[in-house]
Amino acid sequence: MNVVTRFPPSPTGFMHIGNAKTALYNWLFAKHHGGKFLVRIEDTDRKRYSEEAVTAILKGLEWLELDYDGEVISQFSNQERHREIAKQLVANGKAYYCYCSKEELKEMREKAISEGHNTFYDRRWRDRDPSKAPEGIKPVIRIKAPLDGSTTIKDHVQGNITINNKTLDDFIILRSDGTPTYMLSVVVDDFDMGVTHIIRGDDHINNAFRQKIIFDAMQWPVPEFVHCSLIHGSDGGKFSKRHGATSVEEYKEMGYLPEAMRNYLLRLGWSHGNDEIISTDKAIEWFNLEGIGKSASRFDFKKLENLNSHYIKIKDSKELLELVRPFYNKRHNIELSKIAEERILANSEELQSRAKTLLQFCDESVFYAKSSPITYDEKANKLLDEKGKESLKALLNAFTSLTDFTAENIQNACKDIANNLHEGKLGKVAMPLRAAITGTTVSPSVFHASEILGFEETSARIQAAIEHNKIV
């Protein structure tokens, strides 16, 4: 099967997480069949067009690592082709010029509303001779929709969907100013691009019936339809800003990995038995249309976070550090030195086992990139009271007698001081030590961290903490 899919976003804003799911499914299906995944920017609405939005969409695809075939196609640049098809449809008797005035259309609309009809245009120009057209009216071109019977759409997810053709109107395919409408442009572009499968949200089902009219009128093969469920928020409502981050860029800035996002979006509407963690290679191998669920899925940040944690754990430590690197500067205004990189990599296994996001990895390892004296957050500051300093002074003395500055020896020294000063309560020693060397109360093993920092740097930080007098 020669599969061609397309991702056709409108460049009017950021890349929504729902767009990302649509792009992923189209990409996976094309990859699974060795086909093509194309990108088309549906930019015919020039009033809402945004170059920044186009950039955001392409950056979103790049971050998600969804590579596409060929050049990005601009729908706007194909307008002449769309106009040609509209006129060809008129010539073939499948469409017609409509010369209705604004006032006439308004009257028809008001009448339809009062009578409870779904459509309002009364098709008065469908079979009328254009020679009778009034002066001063620039016509639109309308498609000839079927007048009776029914139309059935065969959908891979929704099944067969049938509607009464009386609910279809003779919609406009070319406006009076010569610009094509969305319905026409989409069909022409899909045909010209050789699209075989239209995979999109189920909010486009109604469009499918109208687009089929144009495909049939041109005697073009109708692509196979795959209308997937939309993403809902935790409360069951349509996923929006009130539920949390909605753009792909936001998730990148929140420290999520693209492979975690791909895995999560894949499972948010598609299943393969009970498998939850699915690598990209396996996703390409397994992806099929039969696995797409019909019901809407609720976005669960906890599940995404758990998946992200998994992918952080298995990531190559050096590769992960490169991904985290920008956050040190953004969040802490720190450029990593060579010694900082070495320290972080030395503790990477533990840091990766703890981190749920790249932000957490950054925040819990940034102390390695600092040098004495360091700053202390509010909670760390409280630990550096007189009792805390007493423990630190004892530690400083104990450390000088250690022949090997290892995590095990450091922990034993802390235990001895805890037994002597705090009735064996290790936290009374370990917590002030953590505050002294990290400036926080959350970090990897303080004993291992001390070993990585080394005797001199650890001692310097302890001494600075002892001299610190800004106690809350």
Identity of the highest mean pLDDT range in 8-22, 231-245, 377-391: 377-391
Q: What is the mean pLDDT of residues 428-447?
A: 96
**CA separation for the pair 321, 331 (Å, rounded):** 15
Q: pLDDT, tens digit, for every residue of 284-316?
A: 999 999 999 998 888 999 999 999 999 999 999
- The chain-wide mean pLDDT, for the chain, equals 93
Give the mean model confidence (pLDDT) for residues 327-352: 97
Of the candidates 361, 390, 418, which is a domain's last residue?
361
242-258 pLDDT, tens digit per residue, is 666 678 999 999 999 99
Domains of the chain: total: 4
CA angle 431, 434, 436 (to 5 degrees): 110
Contact of 298 with 232, CB cutoff 8 Å: yes
Tell which wins on pLDDT, 269 or 237. 269
Separation CA 246–CA 22 (nearest Å): 14
Pairing relation of β-strands 140-143 and 95-98? antiparallel
Q: Does the pLDDT value for residue 472 go beyond 50?
A: no
- CA–CA dist 239, 19 (Å, integer): 12
Instruction: Residue 215: give the domain boundaries.
Output: 78-228
In the residue annotation, 241 being an active-site residue is answered as yes
In a domain, 367, yes or no: no
Cα-Cα-Cα-Cα dihedral sign, residues 106, 209, 93, 191:
positive
Asked whether residue 373 is domain-assigned, the answer is no
pTM of the entire predicted model: 0.91
Q: Are residues 61 and 89 in the same domain?
A: no
- Tell whether 366 is covered by a domain: no
CA nearest neighbour of 28 among 222, 204, 281, 231? 281
Per annotation, catalytic residue among 111, 241, 313, 425: 241
198, 246: one domain? no
235 has pLDDT over 80: no
Cα–Cα distance for residue pair 253/241, rounded to 1 Å: 16
Please determine, for residue 471, whether its predicted confidence score (pLDDT) is greater than 70.
no
